[in-house]
Amino acid sequence: MGSGTSSSGHSNSTVSPLRVIAAGTSWRLFGSRRAAQVLLNAVSGDDEQNRMLAGMSLVKAGQRSFDLIEDKIEAGEADGPLLQLLPDIDSKRARAVLQKIASGDAGEVGDAARQCIDLIDRMDALEKDED
């Protein structure tokens, strides 16, 4: 009771934004796996504010978060909102990961991967225009 996490590991609505912020700090500074799980649950949860806070924290943690998300992909546990963070963390590395998903998954995750690849293409085009 009161942990804010169901037996399936998914966050329920009792997780406060303050807990998400604290988890983000703990993940970035110490690599806490428990904090990472709070962020993963929040980024895929129903609360818009928690999704935003968790996403920002994961992106800010950089390669540590990329590796975490890649582990979730390999375990078949990634969803669209989680994939959408990859281009913001490392667009070059994300392209290879996302292309593999896009070519092998016809469902929601595959659609998210294709949308992310399109975003990376548009970001690359903007960078070329600036040069």
Q: Per residue of the chain (131 residues), what is the pLDDT tens digit?
A: 334 443 334 444 579 999 999 999 999 999 999 999 999 999 999 999 999 999 999 999 999 999 999 999 999 999 999 999 999 999 999 999 999 999 987 789 999 999 999 999 998 999 888 77
Q: What is the CA radius of gyration of the chain?
A: 15
| Same domain (yes/no): 57, 103 | no
CA distance 109 to 105: 7
- Enter the pTM of the model: 0.84
- The closest of 54, 74, 75, 58 to 66, measured between CA atoms, is 58
67 within a domain of the structure (yes/no) = no
Query: Is residue 69 domain-resident?
Result: no
Tell whether 28 is covered by a domain: yes
Q: Which residues, at least 6 apart from 15, have a Cβ–Cβ distance to it below 8 Å?
A: 4, 38, 41, 42, 45, 47, 50
What is the identity of the amino acid at 20?
A: V
Residue found by looking up tokens 């700090």 in the block? 25
What is the residue range of 24's domain? Answer: 1-61
Q: Tell which residue, 92, 84, 95, has the closest CA to residue 58.
A: 84
Q: Is residue 90 included in any domain, yes or no?
A: yes
On whether residue 32 sits in a domain, the answer given is: yes
